[in-house]
Structure 1
Amino acid sequence: MLEFVRPLQSILQIKQVNSTDLVWRLHCRVTVFLLLLASLLLSARQYFGNPIDCINAKIGHIPESERSYQKYYQWVVFILALQACMFSVPNFLWKAWEAGRLQSLCDGLTTPIVPDHWEKTRKKQLITYLSADFPHLHRTYLLRYCFCTLLNFCNVLLNIFLVNVIFSGFWSNYHPAVKALLSFDFPSWNRYNSQVFPKIAKCDFHFVGPSGSKQNRDGLCLLPLNVVNEKIFAFIWLWFLGLLVISMLNLLFWIVVLCSKGFRLWLLTAPLYPIRTSYVARALDGQGVGQWFLLYQLCRNLNPIVGRELFQSVSKAKGHNGHKTFRMPKGGEPDFYTDPEGYDEEGV
């Protein structure tokens, strides 16, 4: 079983530098892992045998009004894999756009133990970059992050709709079964889930006879995978609804962040406590929300001691230069090796 799960372990691997938040990781890591695990599990014959076993037998007539046609059974594995791919899209987009920027800025400064004195050149590069004014660059960085966050939310809605279409009213039809499961009412659970995931079904076989004419035979079929499907989709029912609520709250959080300057200041100050708020305010002086987002990403990943020292240095560098800002050099890329005008290492 361990060999079966091992290829998926990299999805949940914890990284030293994270450019995304917890809600994002629930979408693009945990959900993708769970969906792929379910897909692989259902496709493994060594655990559940053949997906369908049929016995030809005479079955009494079933009125048309009492028949429930199941057309999803052979597609469940592919549906789960498709959903995993859909949840991966925002993460792939963000990785391509982010291009390791945060990793390069935080390299070697995230561990609990850091050198007493950073390398002088490295420190000067960071202070120069954070003291400079690259409004378009940082604003684009933030907008892309917000777009991917919104895409995560839309992904949940789209997947809820997809499951509802494939299973013909899944969210309303399966609600009684999930409710019975949560209340440990197992007789009701078996009765309700069998309407969506039957374990025994009447199958019609259409084939061509020896003379070339079409023939039809029916049989009694066992659907062993539905024993697993019912549990997987009970979990999906709860997980997707929970993910939808969390995603809505996360969107509300980012709306407040973009609208409230005071809240943004608090979000930077809290992880660096006991830094003086005036240092953080001066570091943000004259900068847009894009610059704030970059600093927020840094303070979430840097060692707090390094973060405090960095903010103090940026604040003093700006004060030393009369709150001047520095523009993007020609060519569109920031120059780490250009010192701020009038900046002196001893003055910091």
Structure 2
Amino acid sequence: MLKTFSSVSQYIKADLTRVIIDNIVFKLHYRWTFVLLLVATLLVTSRQYIGEHIQCISDSVVAPVINTFCFFTPTFTVVRHMNNTALNSGSIFEPGIGPYNRQSDEVKKHAYYQWVPFVLFAQALCFYMPHALWKKWEGGRIKALVYGLRMVGLTRYLKNDSLRIGTLNIPSMAEAEERVINIRRTMIDRMRLNQSWGAHLVFAELLNLANLCLQIYVTHRFLGRQFLTLGVKVLQERWVDKMDALDIVFPKVTKCTFFKYGAAGSLQEHDTLCVMALNIMNEKIYTILWFWYAFLLTLTVLSLIWRLLTLFLYKSVTFTRWTLYWAKPGKIKESDLSSVIEKCNFSNWMFLFFLRTNLSEFLFTKVIYHLASEFPDNPTHDNDINNYRAQYPHLPSLDTVDAPLLHHRATTSAASAPPEGASLKV
């Protein structure tokens, strides 16, 4: 069993070195829902758990022929036999199974089981798509800024020498200070030119909600408009009535009609019963999906309400201090924080938020301090990035996200930086 699901294990492994560029609700979409749908796809395509997907009873037709025919063509149940009264009285032995008249009786066809694995896999890809788009739009900027800084919190215990343990490099205090200055320079460079970063994040989160609503609707149509109330009916009927919503949507026994020509050339009709073993798995999968989608929809709406709050309140120092409580902002001077927030638009603020998510309290406090040092108290001027870059044309392009932060040696990054006495005019 473990071997069957080994292909999806790579998506649920914890990676402590992974850079965080989204929130927990976003991860529920592209990681947990994606994995859940992949596991469901593997379950309905594996015969080792449920055996043959369909087995039909016929006296004169070869079993493999009738099984294949009834699996590839829709089976059906009789609507007038879908009632608890007849089932409890013993008039019928299975919901929807009984004598019927081809001309007058209404039947319900069941063809979805042929498409279940394809639909589940397509839905898994749809849940991953917003993450793929956001990852492309984000462009690795957060990773570039925090590269090599995940362990910088330990530099407070080092003085002049760096420490290398295997592939892990813990810089010295002097190297850490230089990297913080690099973060400051890169952040300042981007503050006036990276206006769409936050908008792309909000759009990706809205895309998650739109995709979730779309997949709920697609599933509802796919199951014959029975999905929206499936979970509620299961809770109400599962332990009360002999026939519940699962028996109607996922019948375990269905009817199938097979025609063939006899020895004399006349058309013969064979009315067969088919045991739908696959529906034992389908009913569990879609019941779990109903409750998961309800849970995910609730959290997604709440996360968008939170995003709306950040959009309107990000200029508030009090709100920012509360939002960045992981950094213990009481250790950050309110004047420093106010200076930085005053110069931030929403994209810059979100950039700071994810910097804090990926950096230690020790380092983030230094980042705020160094950013605040770029903004003097005189509010009558503003940052002139273009003039600043005109003075230092040798600086790397702003679109190069791996410079100067992805250079391992401090001398390389120092060589690409402006002169020590230069500062950004405000």
TM-score range relative to shorter protein: 0.7 to 0.9
Q: Shift of residue 294 of structure 1?
A: 0.8
Q: Look up the equivalent residue of 1:23 and give its one-letter code.
A: V
TM-score by length of 1: 0.87
AA aligned opposite 1:228? M
Shift of 1:265: 2.0
Aligned to 2:254, the other structure's residue is in SS state: strand
TM-score of the two chains, using structure 2 as the length reference: 0.72
Aligned to 1:26: 28
**3-state DSSP of counterpart to 2:57:** strand
- Could you tell me the percent identity over the aligned residues? 28
Quick one: distance in 1 between partners of 2:242 and 2:337? Answer: 56
Gap runs ≥5 in structure 2: 61-96, 157-172, 391-396, 405-415
Task: Work out which of the residue numbers 93, 99, 111 in structure 1 matches 2:139.
Answer: 99
Q: How does 1:32-43 map to 2 (within 5 A)?
A: 32-43=34-45
After superposition, the CA RMSD in angstroms is: 3.0
Q: Which has the larger displacement, 87-96 or 334-343?
A: 334-343
1:327 paired residue among 385, 407, 423: 385
Taking the TM superposition and a 5 Å limit, the aligned residue runs for 1:80-91 are: 80-91=120-131
When residues 280 and 157 of structure 1 are mapped into structure 2, their CA distance, relative to the original with a 3 A threshold, is same
Q: Measure the CA separation in 1 of the matches of 2:287 and 2:188.
A: 52
Does 2:7 align with 1:7? yes
Q: Is the 8 A contact 2:327 2:365 kept in 1?
A: yes
Deviation at residue 68 of structure 1 after TM alignment: 2.2
Aligned counterpart, 2:119? 79
- Equivalence map 1:149-168=2 (5 Å): 149-168=205-224
Q: For each residue in 1:171-214, what CA deviation from the matched residue of structure 2 results, as whole angstroms up to 9, or x when unmatched?
A: 35524532237xxx535375331001111111123567788887
With over 3 angstroms needed to count, the CA separation of the structure-2 counterparts of 1:340 and 1:238, relative to structure 1, is farther
| d(CA) in 2 for partners of 1:287, 1:159 | 37
Residues 109-128 of structure 1 aligned to structure 2 (within 5 Å)? 109-111=149-151, 113-116=153-156, 117=173, 119=175, 120-128=177-185
- What is aligned with 2:296? 243
| TM alignment of 1:211-230, pairs within 5 A | 216-230=269-283
Q: Distance in 2 between matches of 1:321 and 1:189?
A: 77
CA shift for structure 1 position 309: 1.4
**2:53 match: secondary structure:** coil
Q: 314-323 vs 253-262, which deviates more?
A: 314-323
Listed one character per residue, the Cα deviations across residues 72-128 of structure 1 (whole Å, up to 9, x for unaligned) are: 011111111111011011011112222322112112222485322151542221121
Indicate if the aligned counterparts of 1:268 and 1:280 stay in contact, CA closer than 8 A.
no
Q: Which residue of 2 aligns with 1:51?
A: 53
SS of the residue 2:108 aligns to: coil
In terms of mean alpha carbon deviation, does 156-165 or 335-344 score higher?
335-344
- 2:41·2:121 contact (CA, 8 Å) conserved in 1? yes
Q: Is the 8 A contact 2:190 2:398 kept in 1?
A: no
**Kindly tell me: are residues 25 and 5 of structure 1, through their superposed partners in 2, closer, same or farther at Cα, counting changes over 3 Å?**
same
For 1:131-142, what aligned pairs fall within 5 Å after superposition? 131-137=188-194, 139-142=195-198
Q: Distance in 1 between matches of 2:185 and 2:235?
A: 58
CA deviations 1:240-295 (Å, max 9, x no partner) are 12211211111111111111222752355422113233222212232311111111
CA contact 1:87–1:155 (8 Å) conserved in 2: yes
Asked if structure 1 preserves the Cα contact closer than 8 Å seen for 2:258 and 2:271, the reply is yes
Task: Give the secondary-structure state (helix, strand or coil) at the position aligned to 1:204.
Answer: strand
Shift of residue 306, structure 1, vs aligned partner:
0.8
1:159-238 to 2 correspondences below 5 Å: 159-172=215-228, 174-180=230-236, 185-188=238-241, 191-206=244-259, 216-238=269-291
Q: Give the Cα separation in 2 of the matches to 1:31 and 1:219.
A: 38
* 1:270 alignment partner AA: Y
Alpha-carbon separation, structure 1, partners of 2:30 and 2:261: 47
Residue pair 2:180, 2:366 contacting (<8 A) in 1 also: no
Task: Kindly provide the amino acid, as one letter, of the partner of residue 100 in structure 2.
Answer: I
Q: Which residue in 2 is equivalent to 1:270?
A: 325
Residue-pair matches, total: 340
Residues 1:307 and 1:218: Cα distance change in structure 2 (over 3 Å): same
Q: Does 1:287 align with 2:344?
A: yes
For the residues of structure 2 that align with 1:268 and 1:333, how far apart are their CA atoms?
Answer: 29
Q: 1:86 to 1:105 in 2, by over 3 A?
A: same
Give me the whole-angstrom Cα distance separating, in 1, the residues matched to 2:341 and 2:186.
Answer: 13
Higher helix share: 1
Alignment partner of 2:4: what SS? helix
Secondary structure at 1:221 match in 2 = strand
Q: Look up the match of 2:159.
A: none
Indicate if the aligned counterparts of 1:269 and 1:280 stay in contact, CA closer than 8 A: no
How many angstroms apart in 1 are the aligned matches of 2:26 and 2:192? 25
Shift of the 295–189 alpha-carbon distance from structure 1 to 2, 3 Å rule, reads farther
Match of 1:48, SS?
A: coil
Q: CA distance change for structure 1 residues 23 and 115 in 2, over 3 Å: closer, same or farther?
A: same
Contact 1:132 1:326 in 2 (8 A): no
Amino acid across the alignment from 1:333: D
Question: Contact 1:35–1:83 at 8 Å: present in 2 too?
Answer: yes
User: For residues 51 and 144 of structure 1, what CA distance do their matches in structure 2 show?
Assistant: 44
Question: Does the CA-based 8 Å contact 1:8-1:33 persist in structure 2?
Answer: yes
Q: Which has the larger radius of gyration?
A: 2
Moved more, 254-263 or 218-227: 254-263
User: Which one of the candidate residues 337, 350, 360 is aligned to 1:303?
Assistant: 360
What is the alpha-carbon distance in structure 2 between the residues aligned to residue 230 and residue 164 of structure 1?
Answer: 14
Distance 1:338 1:190 in 2: 74
Cα 1:255–1:203 change in 2 (3 A) is same
Distance in 1 of aligned mates of 2:262 and 2:361: 77
